[in-house]
Every structure is written in C-alpha cells, then in structure tokens.
Structure 1
Amino acid sequence: MSDPMHAAPERMPQTEPAPDTRGVEEGYRTRAAGEPYQMRRDETERAMAARGGAMPEPMGTGGGPNTRAAHAIFAATRIALGFIFLWAFLDKMFGWNTSTKPANAVINGGSPTKGFLSNVDGPFAGMFNAMAGKWWADVLFMGALLGLGLALMLGIGMIVSAFAGPILMVMMWMASLPIATNPFLDDHIIYALVIVGLAVSRMGEPYSLGPWWQRTTLVRKMPWLR
C-alpha cells in the first residue's frame, strides 16, 4: 500500500487563462482588450490632412435622406441669416435707401450708430447715448456686420461668429428695451441662439466652404478660426 504522505501529487487539470477584460483607454471611450483598434478623431484628422484628403465630415453627414435634408435646411438658414447682416452692412455703407438714406451713408460721412443709439430711451439709455456717433463704435458695428455676414454665408469662422454674433445681438437687444410686443424676448435673442447652434452642431457645414477652410494652413495652426 502506498504511503499517502509520499504519493505523487495529482496533476491539476490545466485551464485556459481568463481573458483580460480590463478596459484600454482609447480616445473618447474604453475598449475591451482584443477589440480592433479604432483611430481617434484627432488621429484621423491628422492622417487625412497629411495625405491632403478631406477632413472627417460632421456627424450625420452620411445619413439618410432626413439627415441630408436637415443639413440643407440649416445651410439655407445660415445663408439667409448671413444675408441679413451683409445687407445691413451694404445699406449703411452705401445708402441704398432701404433703411439708410444716401445722405446718411458711411461713404458720405454718415454714422451708422448715431441715429439709432441717440434715440435709445430704455434702462441702458445713458450707456448707448454716450456711444452714439463715436468713431470706434461705428467701426466695431460695421466690422461686426460685415464679418458675421460673410462668415455665415460662406460657413467659415463659425467659432468666432459664435462669440461675436451673440455679443452684438445682446447689445442690440439691450438697446431695444423695453420691448413693445413681448415681455423680454425679440428677434435679436433668436438670432444669437441660431448662430451659436449652427457653430456648435455644425449642421449645414457640408453645404459651405467649411470643409475646404478647415484644411488650410491657417486653420490647422489656429483651429479656433474654424
């Protein structure tokens, strides 16, 4: 009889090692070990830019008819809003007799801010009356109209527009107080929200110069100019 104290140990059955399920950090999410690697968006952009290819399109661009229709509608909205700003600039600059008479045009020595800001009588009347007709106020106002008009119509510089547009719109809203037809809301606030929404969502970008603009050397160095 064999001595159990000195018997050969039983061979334990071999088992496969448990798969490593620890997450591996990959860009915007955690992928399981063994899952095929997917390039992060910034890596994709760099790779595409190095080959001279197009930058990745906004989310949903390659979707169905509803997505394409949404991009087209928002592009039309962006262009229409840009035309409002661009027309206001041209009318005040050249006096095309829609809201600005030729005698009051900028090219004839007129001030685009004096008439409107001088007549502000709301809670911020003192501030706006003091700004009326000042050269720096005229330059900033006309520059904002031209810049917003071109940026929105072309679909470039949308991040800058998302900051400059709401500032201009909120100041014009403040100058319009009190509002006769609504307790506090008017079209200036709606314009501001639309501009920010277009810049953040990038809806309508496929129907613009935005994809080309983002491939330029200037925007690659300063992405905030997108």
Structure 2
Amino acid sequence: MATIERRHHGNDVDDATPPVTAQTPAPQTTTAGPVRYVWAAARIAIGWVFLWAFLDKLFGWGFATPTAKAWINGGSPTTGFLKGTADNTFGGLFDTLAGQGWVDWLFMTGLAGIGAALILGIGMRIAAITGGLLLLMMWAAELPLTTNPFMDEHIVYALVLAGLALAGAGQTIGLGRWWAATPLVRRLPILK
C-alpha cells in the first residue's frame, strides 16, 4: 500500500489527518446518481428561459414583447429594458446602448446561442461565461435594486450557470459527451 506522507515545513502534519493511500476512495462528485438529473433539468430550464426570451423578442408573441415591437417588425429588443434604466446607477451608459443595431444583434445572438447551448448540453463553458456576463450586465443596469440591497435573479442565474458548467451538466440528457469528443473541442477545450 502506497502511503503519501504529508509534510509542512519539514514537520509531520497533525496526526489526526489520515494518510492518503491507494485504497482511499475518490470523493463523490456532484454529478453522481440522481443529482446529475437535477443539474440537467436546471440546465434545460435556464436554457429555455434564454431561448424563450429570444423567440418572444424576435416574433413578439405577446408575453413580454407585443407583436408590434417584435424584432422582425422593426422593434428593438434592447430599447424597452435599457431605456427604462436612465435613472439608475449606470443608466447613462446603458441608456446610450439602447436601440443600437449592433447591441440588438449581440443581445439576440447571445440569447439564442446561450439558450441553444444549454438545452443541447454543448459549449457549457462558453454558455456559462457569456450567459453570466449578460446576466451581470442586466443586473448592473437595474442598480439600485428596489427589492433587495444587491441580490436578484440575475445573480442567482449566473451562479447556477457556473454550477452547470462545473458539474458537467451537459453530459446528462444532453449532447455533452459527444460534443467533448469532437476534434474541434479536443483541440479547443474551452468549447466544452
């Protein structure tokens, strides 16, 4: 049995710490058993939130976006939200971005890409990073918050996105394993 001795500045570590041996079981991962299905369900649910926002803003199905303000009818998907932030902490910055074509395209591409990646279980790292950034910018646009000093659903969703990527949530009820084995992703692991 191979025992790994732990040393701290040349002294033995506290005797209460058991030695790590070849028979020491590996720590349980968060994606074991039924937990992986919970992460998969969270992944698909948040993916649907992003994808639905894209579809409603694109076609104006009347949930958050009226038909007349749909992107395909000439409306701006960013104007309503960002114009409403003029009096907020960073309102001046976000107000100037409202309705600009490049911002609309970037926002809509982000919603569609993040939503599709999460639902399919591919590109989880990129989806978590870009989704987290988008959510943090939306959070910043609303500062100061009216119902809590600092916490709202944007921060919670960003944390869950990080958890999804770290837990490998795309591998359960998703295409994550297949995606990770493609030559492109093996060459560029950030795309996992």
TM range (shorter): 0.7 to 0.9
How far off its partner does 1:220 sit?
1.6
C-alpha distance in 2 between matches for 1:74 and 1:205: 10
Residues 201 and 110 of structure 1, relative CA distance in 2, 3 Å threshold: same
- Structure 1 runs (4+) greater than 3 angstroms displaced: 58-61
Structure 2 residue 53 is matched with structure 1 residue 104: no
How far off its partner does 1:206 sit?
2.5
Counterpart of 1:118, as a letter, is: K
C-alpha distance in 1 between matches for 2:53 and 2:4: 59
Secondary structure of the 1:219 match is: helix
Structure 1 vs Structure 2: percent identity of aligned residues? 51
Contact 2:83 2:98 in 1 (8 A): yes
How far off its partner does 1:222 sit?
1.4
Contact 1:91 1:98 in 2 (8 A): yes
1:178 is aligned to 144
Structure 2 residue 114 is matched with structure 1 residue 162: no
2:101 is aligned to 135
TM-score relative to the length of structure 1: 0.70
C-alpha distance in 2 between matches for 1:197 and 1:100: 30
Counterpart of 1:87, as a letter, is: W
2:51 is aligned to 86
Counterpart of 2:36, as a letter, is: H
Which sections of structure 2, spanning at least 5 residues, go unmatched?
6-19, 23-27
Aligned-residue CA RMSD (Å): 2.2
Deviations 1:173-200 (A, max 9, x none): 0111121111111000000000011101
Which sections of structure 1, spanning at least 5 residues, go unmatched?
1-20, 24-30, 36-57, 62-66
1:48-127 correspondence to structure 2 within 5 Å: 59=29, 67-120=32-85, 121-127=87-93
Pairing partner for 2:167 from 201, 212, 221: 201
Matched pairs, number:
170
